[in-house]
Amino acid sequence: MIDKSTINKMIKLAEKHNVRSDPSHDITHLKRVLANAVFIASKEGADLDVVVPAAIFHDLITYRKDDKRSKNAQAESARLAGRILKRMGFKKQKIKSIEYAIEVCSFSKNIKPKTLEAKVLQDADLLEATGAISIMRTFASSGVMQRAFYNERDPFCKNRKPNSLNYSVDLFYDRLLIARGRMHTKTAKNLALKRTKFLIEFIKQLKRELRVFS
């Protein structure tokens, strides 16, 4: 297991690359994903020497979701992580495993990981798309992107496909409410269950409040 001083050093290195203008991908996001990853890895028997650096460096490069470069963020993060870890003296095979976990972490690309460590990282990051924290992150991103809260004519996507680039509530339908179904490990699925129920209750309450204006 990587010692605490090395973990702290990696966190500080990651913080240097952190985009402070986007609260949904700030240093607290990194730390939550790290905590999720360590918990899941410990339960599932994954290699923490791979999981920990992958979690810390999984978002070294981030772009707004409406930026065309966003599709390349994971690959760029993986390459940068590899260079950093090489300078820190990590073994080549470990670096390859860490890079792979980061490369396949993206939700939008929906890549099924081949290694347990990559599954753990994907699950740890996916947990950020569930529960109360996912609501906070969704609307934080909306402020950055200047995205509308909801489509006034059809707020809950009854007669149209979700368009989360334009409407915040649409993200519930193409990410938040389906995140649990993308989980790989039993540990993550169990953690996501209560969080998903909370999201459903949030949507129910929002429907009640918007009904006043319909």
Residues 146-191: pLDDT tens digits?
A: 999 999 999 999 999 999 999 999 999 999 999 999 999 999 999 9
In the block, residue with structure tokens 């700030």: 26
pLDDT band, very low/low/confident/very high, at 18 (cuts 50, 70, 90): confident
Mean pLDDT confidence for 118-137? 97
- CATH among 1.10.300.10, 3.40.50.720, 1.10.3210.50, 1.10.10.10 for 4-213: 1.10.3210.50
pLDDT of residue 7: 96
Helix (H) or strand (E) holding 37: helix 27-44
Q: Give first-to-last CA distance, the chain, whole Å.
A: 57
What rounded mean pLDDT belongs to the chain? 93
Domain boundaries, the chain: 4-213
pLDDT of residue 108: 82
Q: Flag whether the pTM goes above 0.75.
A: yes
Smallest Cα–Cα separation from 55: which of 44, 71, 40?
40
pLDDT of residue 19: 66
90-114 residue pLDDT tens: 999 999 999 999 999 988 888 899 9
